[in-house]
Amino acid sequence: MYIGYMGSLPFIVSSHYLRTPANYQTEAGSRWQDHDIIYHKPVSEFIGPKLRTITFDLILTASHNIAIKKDLATMKEMCENGTVFPLIIGMRPVSQNYWRLDSMSVSDTFFSSVGALIWAKVNVKLVEYDDSNYQEEKSKLNLYGSIANGILTVFR
């Protein structure tokens, strides 16, 4: 049964397949700036929330019909290419925002007698990707638009 997915990597629990997060931890926080004032205590200013982070382990085993090397290659590609994706766990989105695979580390690997990877533990760190800040994009578009209009005016 599908219980969710991380981009193109599904979380599956059944009698034949097993790929599910373990040791799931999430972290949220806030950002503050302290402004120094001479002869007084600093004044704290709330800037906004931090990006949420989620860490968990994926146990990948060949005995549960998981193509370990393929899964590792998929996660490495997601990490190194800056892929953003929805995170679904329990058939519900974890948040309204997408996530990015910030880092992954592989440990506790076991190999068969012929050198095939048969067991691996992957520690995954996801960071929230908030694309709701369009102000910077709007200002760039206005800047580029005004430059293009100026260039077109010169050639008219």
Q: How far apart are the first and last CA of the chain?
A: 64
Q: pLDDT category, 72, cuts 50, 70, 90?
A: very high
Domains present along the chain, CATH in parentheses: 2-155 (2.40.30)
pLDDT tens digit sequence for 116-148: 899 999 999 999 998 876 555 555 555 555 555
146: how many CB neighbours lie within 10 A of its CB? 10
At 130 the pLDDT is: 87
Residue bearing tokens 């990015």: 100
Q: Which residue has the higher pLDDT, 156 or 3?
A: 3
Residue bearing tokens 């929330």: 49
At 144 the pLDDT is: 53
At 15 the pLDDT is: 86
Length of the chain: 156
Residue 77 corresponds to which amino acid? E
pLDDT tens digit sequence for 74-117: 999 999 999 999 999 988 999 999 999 999 999 988 998 898 89
Triad 135, 140, 141: Cα angle to 5°: 95
pLDDT tens digit sequence for 26-62: 999 999 999 999 999 999 999 999 999 999 999 999 9
Nearest to 4 by CA among 68, 58, 76: 58
At 147 the pLDDT is: 54
Give every CB contact of residue 100 below 8 A, 6+ residues apart in sequence: 82, 83, 84, 85, 126, 127, 128, 129
pTM of this structure: 0.78
